[in-house]
Amino acid sequence: MSEVTFGREKRLLTTQAFQAVFGDTHHKVSHPNFLLLARPNQLSNARLGMVVAKKNIRFSVHRNRIKRVVRDSFRLMQHDLAPVDVIFLVRRGMDKLSSKDQTGLMLGAWKKLHKKLRITS
RNA sequence: GGAGUUGGCUGGGCAGCCACCGCUGUUUUUCUCGAUAUUUCCUUAGGUGGUAUUGGGUUGACAGGGGAGGAAAGUCCGGGCUCCAUAGGGCAGAGUGCCAGGUAACUCCUGGGGGGCGCGAGCCUACGGAAAGUGCAACAGAAAGCAUACCGCCGAUGGUCAUAUUUUGACACAGGUAAGGGUGAAAGGGUGCGGUAAGAGCGCACCGCGCAGCUGGCAACAGAUUGCGGCAUGGUAAACCCCGCUCGGAGCAAGACCAAAUAGGAGUCCUUUGGCGUGGCCCGCGUUGGACUCGGGUAGGUUGCUUGAGGCGUGUGGUGACGCGCGCCCUAGAGGAAUGGCUGCUCACGACAGAACCCGGCUUAUAGGCCGACUCCAAAU
């Protein structure tokens, strides 16, 4: 069993890393409450970046909760994914769901992305 | 017991597994920088490499311990801190506005005074100036600020007429009148007596008001006190305004340090041989090149960054806000942004809501739960 940590090397840290994915998106997973963008990278592991704007989610408590749920679901599913850079973009209404529903939603989303990656590779 | 006022505390708990971010310790785990001792080589000083001991930094591993709030919020005030500006003063602008105190400071807090509300505990209060000026006031009303005559009253005085002759009466014409009625939120003090043609601070008494004194109070202010003034000076200043007091600007994306790549700048050296232009060719001139160094500086990184007007306990001064002394404690520090996820049990089934340089306030949001003090009503003793 490999590690399910979520250290610094598994996150998108710089503006360039974000721009690279925005500018050259290979895969998309869409949902009324969020959007996933993915692009293969040259590393040994997948990396995650998140955009949770105040414009879409008003209260910081809700923004924090969404980020935690997304991050934790990614952490648990990371080894099912190929080495890709993924960006999570939130859409309006995500804060209306409970933590449990958000977790279920995200686990489904990662599986979907995994499938898409496997077909193309 | 019921109704109410007010001050304070708390803001689910326990266990397991998996993660995140600081801190401390252990560990030759990686890379790296010194110090000391000794030694190799070049060798005067000195330089260079090795070995041993030791001290950091860095990167792993393991262990321990810590990790959002009472409002972290709104960003409405005040201050610290940082940079910039600044001789001094004025104007403009903004803020503020009963008095005294507290404080680093405040528009905050405490105590006191005035006014208003409540049976009361208590609550509310933007509370300087309207006899400097300007402005504003719906409707009603005759009149709303140099007051005013609609009804009413009077008509002494003057006028007209009658009577009549030391006059008397009529008219309500001039005129007088703010007592009464009516309008209004408000009609230029109130009550009584005198007075008068009728009235009127016109006069007087008491009450009220203003001014000056006296007494009490640091003061705001109060007073069953004294004198003077017949009483002027209606309201509105979160209308302009006047007066007193306060205020330089920008903010941690402040600021400090390190510093790639690329382009450009400065200097030194190299190319005595290059390329391009001028030219028929050479010299020459212009332009272009390479290496190194330097400073500015972008990305990025480090720092600022949590020990502070700090907390808790205790003693002491003060009505109190708070001050002073002593003892103990260190209690988030992230950075695309940690403080979480899943599972189980449990109860009253969990509200508002997430630190971003730091404090002191204010305001707003908030499911519940707990404690204290006081008031009114009812009953009992």
Instruction: Quote the DSSP letter at residue A79.
Output: G
Structural domain containing residue A76: 8-120
User: What integer pLDDT is reported at residue A1 of this predicted model?
Assistant: 33
What CATH code is carried by the domain that includes residue A71?
3.30.230.10
| Closest nt by CA–C1' to A17 | B336
Distance from residue A75's CA to nucleotide B29's C1', rounded to whole Å: 26
Whether A2 has a pLDDT exceeding 70, the answer reads: no
Q: Does some domain include residue A1?
A: no
**pLDDT band at residue A95 under the 50/70/90 scheme:** confident
pTM above 0.90?
no
Q: Does some domain include residue A3?
A: no
Provide the number of structural domains found in chain A: 1
User: What integer pLDDT is reported at residue A121 of this predicted model?
Assistant: 55
A33-58 b/e (C-beta count within 10 Å ≥ 16 → b): bbbbbbbbbeeeebbbbbebeeebbe
| Closest nt by CA–C1' to A65 | B340
Distance from residue A99's CA to nucleotide B14's C1', rounded to whole Å: 22
Q: Does some domain include residue A2?
A: no
